[in-house]
Copies of this chain bind each other. A is one copy, B any other.
Amino acid sequence: MSRTILLYSGTFTDVLFAELAPRAGEWGYQGLELCCWGDHFEVQRALSEDDYCAKKLDLLSRLDLSAPVISAHKVSQAVGDRVDARHQAILPDYVWGDGQPPEVSQRAAEEMMATVRAAQKLGAAVVAGFSGSTLWSFVGGYPAPTREILAAGFQDFARLWNPILDVCRDCGIRYALEVHPGQIAFDLYSAEMALDALHGREDFGFLFDPSHLHWQGIDPAEFLRHFPDRIYHVHIKDAVLNLNGRNGLLGSYLPSGDPRRGYEFRSPGHGGIDWEAVIRALNDIGYNGPLSVEWKDSGMNRDFGAEDACRFVKRLDFEPAPPEY
């Protein structure tokens, strides 16, 4: 479909934007999904400095690269989470502040609104990110939450995110929530519930990343066919199951790369995802947004992998039959 192939910049925040952009181009990418940390896309500067966005776009344009999606995964996590010590590392100081949970979430929400406005200024169409969730710790745990507790969690989600989505609506930006463990939506039916909690407002859809569905036993193509008009962004990331009787899918607290884990993320094409089925489902539902490589593989050289992944996606993304076929 000749979809635009992006590199998700969040894996490369140790590399300055001015250095990363040309490398991405050399590897074959047609654009970047810029993340809002490091110097890749600084929200406050974008809003306060007149030429910040123009300069970014200028550099990208000279490299023939686009930037249609902004990643706000880190700040967005704090909007709906019970904030704890882990969050300090993913938030700018001015959002973390003194770390008092309710205020942190409030400031995170404000930063998200700013992000949407900054994205508009850059000419992006989509802001992608997380939601955080007060319900996550109840998933699989004990005691099971009551219906009332679950309902309250979804109401919180709607209450916190509707104002941000209102800004999206005003700016002509769509928010793509990554369906991901730790978020309000982490599988097919929870995604359905999240959509219902927002009464299906069109500003809100999903970032589809099959790697998070695969290890849960969900067929990524079924997810796509279930939400044909709510796929607002796509991450290309692979995953592999390592089950040998001792490994478990919940991962035993082990870090990525430890062979005792039950699953691992992989450079695309090096894992277990049925990409042929994914691309055909994307074709069938008419998704024509970008394909963004979120490169993650604890066992491969990053630069080698980023280039390998771009080639992989180009081979994968074949032309579908014309609609009239």
Contact = CB atoms under 8 A, between A and B. Distances in A.
A259 B284 contact: yes
B89 A143 contact: yes
A100 interface: no
Contacts of A137: 82, 136-137
A94 interface: no
Contacts of A147: 255
Interface residues of A, number: 82
Interface string A195-222: 0000000000000000001001111011
A248 B298 contact: no
A48 interface: no
Interface string A295-321: 001111110110010000000001111
B308 A321 contact: no
A233 interface: no
Given A139-B250, A188-B246, 6 more contacts: A85-B149, A87-B143, A217-B247, A259-B284, A298-B325, A300-B318
Nearest to A188: B246
Contacts of A218: 243, 245-248
Nearest to A86: B143
Q: Majority SS of interface residues in chain A?
A: loop
A250 B298 contact: no
Interface in A269-308: 270, 276, 280, 283-284, 297-302, 304-305, 308
**For the complex formed by this chain, how many copies does it contain in all?**
6
A271 B268 CA distance: 19
Contacts of A225: 259
The CB with the most chain B CB atoms within 10 A, among A74, A138, A253, A305, is that of: A253
Contacts of A251: 139-140
Interface in A226-255: 226, 241, 243-255
Contacts of A320: 299-301
Interface stretch (A18-26, A54-62, A160-168, A179-187): A179-187
Given A276-B270, A321-B302, A262 B216 contact: yes
A252 B187 contact: yes
5 contacts: A87-B143, A138-B253, A189-B252, A302-B321, A304-B319
Contacts of A85: 149
Interface in A135-153: 135-147, 149-150
A77 interface: yes
A44 to B, nearest CB: 22
A229 to B, nearest CB: 16
Nearest 3 interchain pairs by C-beta: A137-B137, A141-B182, A219-B245
